[in-house]
Amino acid sequence: MNMDFIANNVVLKADNIVGVRGDRLLFENVNFEMSQGSVLYLQGANGTGKTTLLRMLCGLSKPYAGNISWCGENIDALAEEYYKDVLYIGHLSGIKEDLTALENLQFSIALSGKRVTEKQTAEVFNALGLSKGLNLPTRMLSQGQKRRVALARLWLQDAPLWILDEPFTALDISATERLKQKIEVFARDGGMVIMTTHQEFTLNIPKFSQLRLDENVIKKVA
């Protein structure tokens, strides 16, 4: 989707979102708006529904009440038109352990409808410190390496909205810093990110805000 025409306007909007699990209310009256270049850091104690909300924003589950819109239209009505604009990486790596790191990345990218060369993927893996594990079955990799295989999609897959659930899990200090820098560059180029993490962090970008899900309060950090 070409979003140049709405560069300074709201792209993603959540209106009075209510989340329920079973018969338990997780959250209610969640409201926020995102424009290009913005990052929303979702916070909250375990069990407050952070992953539930992220899955709603991906279109993988539906809110109990409320509306999520993309460029002014409900995401359910947009369906595939919206899904292709979203890159979701869950708190589990979501990789196939019998495939190599290279095959996993090529498979994930192919599902998005994009083709990448082996040279392109090798360059990304080298930047992420995975060059030695490129052709190994991922079951032989450490948890941190598996996480980097999943995150490699961020360097290759075109999508204006990233939704990231605990992206720093199992990453060492250098990989964590590399990912933070990637998010900053993506946001400065007009991308949007919604993410949750147990690690306290900030980003050096103009539009960085935090939402505590257990309080439903947005704090503008920058």
**What H or E segment, with its residue span, contains residue 207?**
strand 207-212
Q: How confident is the model at residue 218 (pLDDT cuts 50, 70, 90)?
A: low
8 with 79, same domain: the answer is yes
> Which structural domain, as residue segments, surrounds residue 57?
1-85+163-222
Residue 2 has pLDDT above 50, yes or no: no
Task: Summarize pLDDT for 71-113 with one digit per residue, the tens.
Answer: 999 999 999 999 999 999 998 777 888 999 888 888 888 877 7
Domain count, the chain: 2
- Report if residue 90 sits inside a domain: no
Task: Summarize pLDDT for 104-123 with one digit per residue, the tens.
Answer: 888 888 877 777 787 888 88
38 with 66, same domain: the answer is yes
pTM: 0.90
Residue 7 has pLDDT above 70, yes or no: no
Task: Summarize pLDDT for 63-72 with one digit per residue, the tens.
Answer: 999 999 999 9
216 with 153, same domain: the answer is no
C-alpha 117: how far from chain center: 23
Pairing of strands 161-165, 86-89: parallel
Provide long-range contacts, Cβ within 8 A and 24+ apart, for 175-183: 175/128, 175/129, 175/144, 175/147, 175/148, 178/127, 178/128, 179/151, 179/154, 182/154, 182/155, 183/39
Here the CATH number for the domain that contains residue 21 is 3.40.50.300
Nearest to 132 by CA among 103, 101, 173, 156: 101
26 with 128, same domain: the answer is no
